[in-house]
Amino acid sequence: VQDVEFDADAVAKGGFPHFMLKEIFEQPEVLRNTMRGRLLTAEGNAKLAGLDTNIKELRNINRIIITACGTSYYAGMVGEYMIEDLAGVPVEVEYASEFRYRNPIIKPGTLVIAISQSGETADTLAALREAQQKGATALAICNGVGSTIARTSDGGVYLHAGPEIGVASTKAFTSQVTVLAMIALLLGRQRRLSFETGADIVKDLLELPDLVTETLKLSDSIAEIAKTLCKANNFLYLGRHFCYPVAMEGALKLKEISYIHAEGYPAAEMKHGPIALIDENMPVVVIAPKDSLFDKIISNIREIKARGGKVIAVTTEDCHPLDEIADHIITVPKTRPMLMPILACIPLQLLAYHIAVLRGNDVDQPRNLAKSVTVE
């Protein structure tokens, strides 16, 4: 008889040193699970069973309030841009803690969508109840099956992302954005979105998991970049349009696990204040995919370089002249602009992870933070 050493923790981590890294690498499979059975290629549409009872009502919705906290809030910001773009319905995103305590304006035709990974976030649950109290239909986007928020809502969509153990949310963010893309598609197809564009979006969604796999191959080169940045005490993250919320989320990741003061901003706002902070000690991460705003963001980057700042650019191929200006280039695959957040956030998850490991932090259990905030 021979004793076999068995480390339950290591098994649970599937060979990865931390749950967070495991969960980052699970994302291709998670996105497949999030989309499974929910996309109708032949109709250029999404079918979300949890919204079936609300489907007629959704056609008459004329305003949407998305409410959430933390990472889920930033996913909601991407959702705002996607829904306004595809469906033409005005969307506001509100911090749940603020929404619940002021007198929110709910009128006939107002839909509220609450987003929470755990489904137990106290502020988000209270916001959902406040919205229902005022007569709104309130949907939930949750990962926790049978969670309080899921049970309290009038309908909703599960992430099917599997348990998320790392305190810093990763796979929940990308699957939340994927669910919001499917909701935007559904609302769009009820309104002005053509079959043709709908079918293109379905095709692009279905290609995402493979593109995420491609993106994850960047991990080693990002670890190298992390070595040059891990001593910095302040970061700025900049993005525009669909990738502005990615800048916010990337900064939050670095805050959470590296304890580095990182702040996200819409790129063009930099010149209204934050540019005063720029010097050689403040690296700036810029999300700059090759799209219609590329030239604008190049000019923002030139301003940073002119002030001695160090620029890490997350971009797509053919990014010239960015390759000559930025200090580090991280190239992710290309997809349609509304889905870029899903690919662009992954290098930022990896960057935060590698920097935190290099700083010797407890990545899965960062100081002061709880996985789900069930108190106010």
Q: Tell me which of 241, 310, 328, 354 binds its own copies, using CB under 8 A.
A: 241
Smallest distance, Å, CB 299 to its own copies? 7
Residue 21: half-sphere exposure toward Cβ, Cα within 13 Å:
19
Q: Is 2 in the site for its own copies (CB under 8 A)?
A: no
Nearer to its own copies, 241 or 310 (CB): 241
Residue with tokens 């662009």: 344
Q: What is the DSSP string of 120-133?
A: --HHHHHHHHHHHH
Smallest distance, Å, CB 232 to its own copies? 11
Q: Is 311 in the site for its own copies (CB under 8 A)?
A: no
Q: Tell me which of 127, 159, 226, 257 binds its own copies, using CB under 8 A.
A: 257
Structure tokens at 31: 């996105």
Q: Tell me which of 9, 15, 42, 292 binds its own copies, using CB under 8 A.
A: 292
Q: How distant, in Å, are the alpha carbons of 136, 196, 369 from that of 74?
A: 22, 29, 18
Smallest distance, Å, CB 122 to its own copies? 10
Please say whether the beta carbons of 283 and 260 come within 8 A: no
Nearer to its own copies, 11 or 375 (CB): 375
Cα–Cα distance between 209 and 26 in angstroms, integer? 10
User: 17 preceded by cis ω (within 30°)?
Assistant: no
Q: Is 302 in the site for its own copies (CB under 8 A)?
A: no
Q: What is the DSSP string of 201-249?
A: HHHHHHHHHHHHHHHHTTHHHHHHHHHHHTT-SEEEEEE-GGGHHHHHH
Nearer to its own copies, 161 or 282 (CB): 282
Cα–Cα distance between 223 and 309 in angstroms, integer? 21
Q: Is 36 in the site for its own copies (CB under 8 A)?
A: no
Strands (E), the chain: 39-40, 45-46, 63-68, 91-95, 110-116, 137-142, 156-158, 234-239, 261-266, 284-287, 311-315, 328-331
Residues near 276 by Cβ (< 8 Å), separated by ≥ 6? none
Nearer to its own copies, 16 or 294 (CB): 294
Smallest distance, Å, CB 101 to its own copies? 6
Q: Is 261 in the site for its own copies (CB under 8 A)?
A: yes
Q: Which of residues 92-121 bind its own copies (CB under 8 A)?
A: 92, 95, 97-98, 101-103, 105, 107
Structure tokens at 233: 């005490």
Q: Is 19 in the site for its own copies (CB under 8 A)?
A: no
Q: Is 200 in the site for its own copies (CB under 8 A)?
A: no
Q: Is 310 in the site for its own copies (CB under 8 A)?
A: no
Q: Is 145 in the site for its own copies (CB under 8 A)?
A: no
Q: How distant, in Å, are the alpha carbons of 63, 103, 106, 142, 192 from that of 111?
A: 6, 16, 8, 17, 19
CB atoms inside a 10 Å sphere around CB 324? 8
Query: Judged by CB under 8 A, which stretch of 30-38, 52-60, 199-207, 252-260 contacts its own copies?
Result: 252-260
Q: Is 85 in the site for its own copies (CB under 8 A)?
A: yes
Contact string (CB under 8 A) for its own copies, positions 43-72, x = contact:
--------------------x-----xxx-
Q: Which of residues 331-360 bind its own copies (CB under 8 A)?
A: none
Residues near 152 by Cβ (< 8 Å), separated by ≥ 6? 125, 128, 129, 132, 138, 140
What residue ranges bind its own copies (CB under 8 A)?
A: 63, 69-71, 73, 81, 84-85, 88-90, 92, 95, 97-98, 101-103, 105, 107, 123, 233-234, 240-241, 244, 252, 255-257, 259-261, 263, 266-269, 271-278, 282, 292-293, 296, 299, 307, 366-370, 373, 376
